[in-house]
Amino acid sequence: MKKNEYGLFTAIAMIVGIVIGSGIFFKSDNILIATGGSISLGVLVFCIAAIAIIFGSLTIGELASRSNESGGLIAYAEQYYNKSIACAFGWFQTFLYFPTLIAVVSWVAGIYICLLFGINGTLETQILIGLAIMVLAFIVNTMSAKYGGYFQNASTVIKIIPLVLIAILGVIFGDSNSISLEHVTSMQSTTWIAAIAPIAFSFDGWVVSTSIGHEIKDSKKNLPRALIIAPIFILAIYLLYFVGISIYVGPEQIMALGDAHVDLAANNLFGPWGAKLVLIFVIISIMGTVNGLTLGLIRLPHSLAKRGMFPNSEKIAKVNEKVLMPVNSAIVAFAISCLWLVLHYLTTKFNLLQNSDISEISITISYILYILLYVKVISLGNKGEIKGVFRSKVNPILAIIGSVMILFGSIGNDLFIVHALICLAVIASAIIFWKKKENDDNLVSSY
């Protein structure tokens, strides 16, 4: 693969472009349902959930500044723990984390494309459109790393436009009296904790940028910079949008309309044609998220295969000389994503995950895995390899607290235990696979 394909702006655009893309548009109703329609509680939970991403990215940035190996978290786990843990990280990201996000976000693109063209948005139609979006993203990113990066930059700039417009106009024309601090001061109910899970979805994706760390120019400086700048910018945009849309449309109506509340707000603010334009921006925004996730996923089987951590490694590790990309790795990644799209269809069709989806539990487990890396940063600080109390202690401790809060916010999910067991099974399978390979290699070398 080509080295140093991406600059600092693309690294920032990748984080902003993946994180801001779909979650904020279609999770606002879930957040308000969990907070009982309280905007102020929603803002509070946004800030609580932001602890995980802001301090998590600051902490991971410390490891990113010390590595330019391919694989992102896989490389960090291998360098600071061992190959078994690295294999577990890689399998989890390859088989669960990335593909569940790609499946759900592609489906969301289908929802908004149906709204744009007035198509009867049955679940089957939305899923088929989502599949088409997935195919396009995988083809573009497999055929050219550069074009994938260009689209990421462009879609990031475009996606901020509707967020800022709706945020500002919503604040100007909305009913500010609908914001009450009473819910925050009284805290009589703990149901608001459930809002952490959809907010974690809205914030998630920042860690994807580490998967292309080795392809970022001057990655030891630029990747940590991107991991600091992007999350703070995202939080500011999210808070503005959430407050703006909530006071303009009204919490009750947002909860009643679900994902269609964005279309209603755009119609009221800009008229039918303006609303169409906003929807186009939203769709490009969501496609930018799919693109960024795909850009990260297609490299993961290759990164694992290079280390002998994936079945049929020799074949998966090959890089196509014509496009200078790991095509076999991309094909495997696409097949896994398609499987999760089918599973997402089934769980949605039969309403198996109320007010949730297949990706939220994977996101929760991922934050629990990150704790291993956060602890390592504290350890490096104790050894004097990372200087400063904030960098070596405060940041990782707050990141750990954020991860634990996301876990508590997800435990109430209907199928949390089942999905968590699936995650643990994948992690255990990875460790068993590596241990068996080590034993086989030792037997061969002993002859």
What CATH code would you report for 8-439? 1.20.1740.10
Asked whether 52 and 367 are in contact (CB, 8 A), the reply is: yes
Q: Which residues of 240-253 are buried (b: 16+ CB within 10 A; e: fewer)?
A: bbbbbbbbbbbbee
Query: pLDDT (tens digit, 9 = 90+) per residue, 237-250?
Result: 888 989 999 999 99
Can you give the pTM of this predicted structure? 0.83
* pLDDT score, position 1: 46
Question: pLDDT value at position 2?
Answer: 47
pLDDT in tens, 29-70: 888 888 888 888 888 888 887 788 788 888 988 888 787 776
- Cβ atoms of residues 357 and 347 within 8 Å: yes
Tens of pLDDT along the chain (447 residues) come to: 445 556 777 777 767 776 776 667 767 888 888 888 888 888 888 888 778 878 888 898 888 878 777 677 888 999 999 999 999 999 999 999 999 999 999 998 999 899 899 999 899 999 999 999 999 999 988 887 666 667 766 777 787 888 888 889 998 998 887 776 665 655 555 566 777 776 776 777 677 666 666 667 777 777 778 877 888 888 888 889 899 999 999 998 988 887 778 888 889 999 999 889 888 988 888 888 888 889 889 989 999 999 999 999 999 999 998 888 899 999 999 999 999 999 999 999 998 877 678 887 788 889 899 999 999 999 999 999 998 999 999 999 999 998 888 888 777 666 678 888 999 999 999 999 999 999 888 777 665
Q: What is the DSSP string of 263-308?
A: HHHHHHHHHHHHHHHHHHHHHHHHHHHHHHHHHHHTTHHHHHHHTT
CA separation for the pair 50, 54 (Å, rounded): 6
pLDDT given for residue 443 in this prediction: 77
Please say whether the beta carbons of 245 and 42 come within 8 A. Answer: no
Question: DSSP of 46-109, one letter per residue?
Answer: HHHHHHHHHHHHHHHHHHHTT---TTTHHHHHHHHT-HHHHHHHHHHIIIIIHHHHHHHHHHHH
